[in-house]
Structure 1
């Protein structure tokens, strides 16, 4: 009878591809013959990887065996029932997950990476440890618990709290408790953080950034914005008949839309050379031919835009009644620095807005920008989807997109009413360049008024071309 050890290499390869990839490492330790065949077998490890995970971009160099070894280590941590093991490895887990998301299939519904992660986070222990370890889930100075259950507690270091908040922002809100009562819901504490005007200052440009002038994302702030917007979107959608008028909850599907380039379709007329550079993460032309092409005046601005700005975007803006905002911030003593204000369940107003924008200028990066990526300027119009009379939703829009030195995509928008700028927003694109999840951040008075108002906003792209009722004349008039 033929034994497994006597099979030819081709048959052995086929047999091993039916093994679960973590077991392949164990097989290599069973005997010298298997070790000699498995260890360093690039084709076998590549086939095993591609059976279970998405193929990385062609421009990346991959050590398939090492990559599967790292994922096996990640899987062992995620499948462990030992909470201490998970907490000790929070940094490694978050970094590994972010890497899997950044190399996932751009067609998110077909992504093996995302499916793998979604399955792992069906485990409530993983959600408790890795998604619920930011400051929102800590304890107040008087010892009272903030958001979450006793199993959900803040990590001991600021860096770990930021990492947990980042992963939560990438994951979304599908497991959030959205009741209005205190219970264990996070949204009253998230809302408190979002509307605490102490968090808007010159050190963070009033945006979702750390207070150090670096424009690095403050993931705990972004986490709170996402939770608050997710709560408001869920309530809004539930209030509509069969969800009419809404696009659904952008944060309701775990890890959806975080992969760079996951917005589809990309403009068909983007020339292949420019598209390749965008996908590789570098705008600078790597050969003279592409560089010359991008400098030709006949090439549309959209074809030179690596961020995919032009098109129709859906936007959500939330705000408190100003009397409520003022009372929350100024009618009681400020907490000590570093302490949050009391949680609030005050109902917010919500506006769903359609923005139609197009590129009108591309300039070189400035100080503080990444030097191999341009600054793209845009102009357009915004219209309320549900209240055509709303003066704060119907406006002209101008703005810019750039990549910071840290590699984050930063969006700035200005809302113009009757020729005068009124509101400004500072946002980052979750996941990176051209991600389907879109942009999230804050809006505020263009004069940076310390008395407000201010609040959360987000927007995501819905289509490249107009849907038949674009306000082209009005958009063009902005440039006139």
Structure 2
């Protein structure tokens, strides 16, 4: 009988199982439940967490050695989040209770993206290290109707800054999925000057409160408005996707010149070019060549119009 084996051996065997298998085993009897859950030893759950696989949390840029890691809670929450967001258009509209669970799941998935390990650990000249987090996150979102079928998922009701953030990361126009009127909706949002006010800091922000400076003066406290950023990303990428320029009268394939790095791997810490070459006091990375992507004119608007090559280069280098 399996449970007649030494406890240490049983737990070692479980280290090679999936989280679902470990959870199912724990339900077979009281002894199995005790072996899995009634222990302060995190070794089993750390091995299960890494075998999914996920990136080691100890390699995350945000890792704090003074804070113990609850590996069991981490893997349970991530697996649950992936199952919660795996709804289809036929499941819509969601109940209010389910919608709250989905919002919580999106918040956790954002944290998964931010805890991805850097592509380079010590030597930027070495080959990039793949991120298990980003691969798992891509698979998890690919099962969600809001990401694989945005045209048919308009029945989803609710707003979450975490959802909008993931949609901005996802870059829908480059995914080859039906997008319906998404291009028009994003352009209308971006060009609507009502979205540019003092409360939005005249940009892609929103005011979450105020800070009193003195008796007569106060200032807004801002955070990123990811719905606005999502529409900016869509507007730029739809322009790149639909731009058929590249004839001899234009610079060679300007879409490649304009297209920014996309995908979850481009969000990883130290993935920006020259990250390891910064001076010690240049913590914000402000030195060097900057590339600015402007969404207030779709690149498709330039199609068929003669553009001097120096103008295209200048725009790309601003």
TM-score by length of 2: 0.73
Q: CA deviation at 1:166?
A: 1.9
Cα distance in 1 for partners of 2:24, 2:55 equals 23
In structure 2, the residue matched to 1:152 is 154
CA contact (8 A) 1:319 1:349 kept: no
Cα distance in 1 for partners of 2:171, 2:316 equals 29
Cα distance in 2 for partners of 1:102, 1:14 equals 30
Is 1:257 matched up with 2:259? no
Provide runs of 4+ in structure 1 moved above 6 Å: none
Matches within 5 A, 1:75-114: 75-79=82-86, 82-83=91-92, 84=94, 87-107=99-119, 110-114=130-134
Matches within 5 A, 1:352-431: 387-389=309-311, 393=315
> Aligned pair in 2 of structure 1 residues 249, 18: CA closer, same or farther (>3 Å)?
farther
In structure 2, the residue matched to 1:413 is none
In structure 2, the residue matched to 1:267 is 276
Q: CA deviation at 1:211?
A: 5.6
Cα distance in 2 for partners of 1:9, 1:186 equals 56
Q: CA deviation at 1:256?
A: 3.3
CA contact (8 A) 2:148 2:177 kept: no
SS in 1 for 2:166: helix
> Aligned pair in 2 of structure 1 residues 264, 64: CA closer, same or farther (>3 Å)?
farther
Cα distance in 2 for partners of 1:97, 1:263 equals 22
Q: CA deviation at 1:244?
A: 7.0
Q: CA deviation at 1:171?
A: 1.8
Cα distance in 1 for partners of 2:111, 2:203 equals 26
Is 1:304 matched up with 2:281? yes
In structure 2, the residue matched to 1:27 is 25
CA contact (8 A) 1:120 1:126 kept: no
In structure 2, the residue matched to 1:48 is 48
CA contact (8 A) 2:131 2:265 kept: no
Please give the per-residue CA displacement for 1:4-49, whole angstroms capped at 9, x wherever unaligned: 2122344323321221112212222222332232223311111111
> Aligned pair in 2 of structure 1 residues 193, 246: CA closer, same or farther (>3 Å)?
same
Which of 4, 11, 14 is the equivalent residue of 1:13? Answer: 11
The aligned length equals: 277
Cα distance in 2 for partners of 1:124, 1:318 equals 27
CA contact (8 A) 1:319 1:348 kept: no
Gaps in structure 1 of 5+ consecutive residues: 133-147, 271-301, 321-344, 351-384, 398-480
Q: CA deviation at 1:305?
A: 2.3
Please give the per-residue CA displacement for 1:150-177, whole angstroms capped at 9, x wherever unaligned: x323524xxx243432221122223366
> Aligned pair in 2 of structure 1 residues 5, 190: CA closer, same or farther (>3 Å)?
same
CA contact (8 A) 1:176 1:185 kept: no
Is 1:225 matched up with 2:227? no
> Aligned pair in 2 of structure 1 residues 307, 96: CA closer, same or farther (>3 Å)?
same
CA contact (8 A) 2:86 2:145 kept: no
In structure 2, the residue matched to 1:469 is none
User: Per residue, is there more strand in 1 or in 2?
Assistant: 1
Q: CA deviation at 1:103?
A: 0.5
In structure 1, the residue matched to 2:166 is 167
Cα distance in 2 for partners of 1:24, 1:68 equals 12
RMSD: 3.5
